[in-house]
Structure 1
Amino acid sequence: MRSIRTAVDRAALGAVGVALLLGGVWLAAGDRALAQRLPAWWPAPAAGTVLLDGDRLARWRGAGWWTPAVMAAAIGLTVLFAWLSLARLRRAGTGRRLALPAPGCTVRPQALSAALTERVLAVPGVVGGRARVTPRRGRRLEADLRVRLAPDTPPGAVLPALRAVAAEAGRAAEPYTVHTRIRLSAAAHRTPHVR
């Protein structure tokens, strides 16, 4: 479904781009210097023509249907583009689903991030942290672990456990290759205040 949506988006953008390009070239061909360099078969506007003639525009504005039709088209296009933008934002917020080896099973990267965060927080000596799993091209996942250590906890004491958690995450996301980056920071000591 995602690839169909992407193809439709690209086709629509391409069609609009080609239409704008052809319209711009047609209008630019009205310049005599450019019109002489174009091939004979190219449809060029006659000298002195304009895109919208003032008399024709005045006649359209005088018709009863012109103003409501233009307003309805403008409102319709605005609502359509707003709806498409909101739908895009909503899809971006939920993230794409990752296919697992079992048929019909998928998982969201946010769910993997939440599970990985729970596993990291269960490691002794860790007082805080979060995990973020980001899908990349070619069946790759990037796991970014930000871990805050308890005061006086050496990094060497928790690093083997964090590596084991990262290896477990790699096995859980089996068809994907997980590249893990671990960032360690220490929680600050609370300095007693004397009053």
Structure 2
Amino acid sequence: MLKGVNRVLLGMAGLVLAVLGGSVLAIGLGAPAPSWWPHDGRHDVLLDDAERTRWRDEGWWWPAVVAVLAVLVLLSLWWLLAVVRRRRPAEVPLDTGDGEGASLRGRALEQALAEEASRLDGVDRAHVLLTGRRSTPRTRVLLHLRPHADPRTTLRALAEGPLAHARDSAGLPALPTETRLHAVRHRPERVT
């Protein structure tokens, strides 16, 4: 959902900035001002002295300006953190048994799981995504099944094979997994 909200907000902000910036540029280059434009001509300033100082003596003006700007800054920071925040753990800690410990790259675990899952009987391709926290990783597995594959057998083989190997190798107590199955569609071939 966040991706959709992000795209809509970026699109709206870009559209508003493009319309306003394009209007200012066009009027500055001598084009006639549109009907909604608040100024008369090309040499008119955006804010004259009267407009800039109109509310200066009012007691509510500066607190309102500061509050609006603070809300805008907080919303911008929230948006930036939501976009930048990692949704995937970069590494998974391993217990080596000697008290030192080590770490396994998340992408390496994803790749190993995907390769082993794609070798299962009835699986054409496999994609694995590691999610969750560093200490409690989760996986999302997408399996593209061949037409002859039995989904129940394939899921059991996935749980007993690649997922069990990954859980045991990383020393994890559990590796919760969400699995999606898709049937591979083959184009019909003409037999002569």
Q: Give the TM-score normalised by structure 1.
A: 0.48
Q: Looking at both structures, which has the greater relative contact order when contacts are Cα pairs under 8 Å and sequence separation is at least 6?
A: 2
Higher helix share: 1
TM-score, length basis structure 2: 0.48
